[in-house]
Amino acid sequence: MSGDPPRLRPRRCLPGRQRRYLRPRPRRERTRGVAGGLRPARRRRRAVVPVRPRRRAPGGQSVTAARQADRLGAATTLFGHCDDPLFEFPFRVESLGDPAAVTVCTFEGEDLMLATDSSALADCDAARLRDAGTYDTPADAICVSNAVSVPGIGDVLRGFGPGDAPVVFDPGPITGIDPDRARRLGATLRDLAAGREVVVTPNADETEAFAAALGVAAEAPAEPLRDALGVAAVVVHAHPASVVADADGTREVPAPDVERTARTGGGDCFVGGLTAALSGGWDLDPAVELANRCAAYRVSTDRIGGRADLL
């Protein structure tokens, strides 16, 4: 096929159904007058392009973050929706049900993602995690991700309660988050931060969306968002530099300048690297520097880097 890819428009649907992007529907043309009456103009044809995956691979926010932490040598346990033979890793995995399925269609300059959520995600709450042993598993750092696909994410966060291990929270793609849900999530994070260190780590667009939904929109939203949430830090993973906002103020941590050959998984590797570093007792700035290297390696190689690749 030659020429530019077709313009696409998103269609929203309920959880458990496939989220698709469709070619815009052609407009019906006006009828034309002819001798003896009217006849409709000929309608344009719509092309249907079948999607044939070239390969299957394990992915997802929590899975990729766990794989990154493991590659850095952290003793890793993954609690996620991993009921699929693909999810066989050299670390402990406790499955909570069937995974979501995501098809990534690669176009020049961007990727198109078609996601089918698992119904098990809607049932994920503190009780389900408690039954799986999540809250009883010893940890030096905890990573929680995906506020979009898990409606019970607030209940999951509340289940951790006070403790010594920091919680790294990656909200995921919340650019369209409802203000009421944003306020509830913010209140949950404030309550959790009263009893343990909490680091919230969205990307730049998610930071702006979260801050705007909470009514604290600003040109540089990282510090206002941290103040609104009452957490130890907001770390915005971005290029050419990540932004850190904590009790010492706001600053940038430069990221490596690499040629980007992959467009998925960089943020998840960032979160995995940050969590692994904090579990080892690293200070925040060097932990973010390592996380930047993890993300850069991922997007420049489409692989997950280990110590030898990054340090």
Read off the pLDDT of residues 206-221 as tens digits, 9 standing for 90 and up. Answer: 999 999 999 997 889 9
- The pLDDT, as a whole number, for residue 93 is 93
Mean local confidence (pLDDT), 4-25: 43
pLDDT at position 150 over 70: yes
Report yes or no: 102 and 117 within 8 Å, Cβ to Cβ: no
Bridge partners of 72? none
| Segment of 75-84, 173-182, 208-217, 270-279 carrying the highest mean pLDDT | 270-279
In the block, residue with structure tokens 């999607």: 51
Read off the pLDDT of residues 15-73 as tens digits, 9 standing for 90 and up. Answer: 444 444 444 444 444 444 444 555 555 666 776 666 666 666 666 789 999 999 999 99
DSSP H or E segment with residue 38: strand 37-39
In the block, residue with structure tokens 């069937």: 98
**How far apart are the C-alpha atoms of 12 and 14, rounded to whole Å?**
7
Longest dimension (CA), the chain: 85
Task: Please give the full DSSP string across 65-98, using - where no structure is assigned.
Answer: HHHHHHHTT---EEEE---STT---SSEEEE-SP
What is the pLDDT of the chain when averaged over all its residues?
Answer: 84
Instruction: Average the pLDDT over each of 113-122, 201-210, 250-259 and give the range with the smallest value.
Output: 113-122
**How far apart are the C-alpha atoms of 108 and 154, rounded to whole Å?**
37
Question: What is the dihedral sign for C-alpha 56, 57, 61, 63?
Answer: positive
Instruction: Average the pLDDT over each of 53-62, 75-84, 219-228, 275-284 and give the range with the smallest value.
Output: 53-62
Question: What is the dihedral sign for C-alpha 188, 189, 195, 196?
Answer: positive
- Between the CA atoms of 286, 289, 290 and 292, what dihedral angle is there, to the nearest 10 degrees? 160
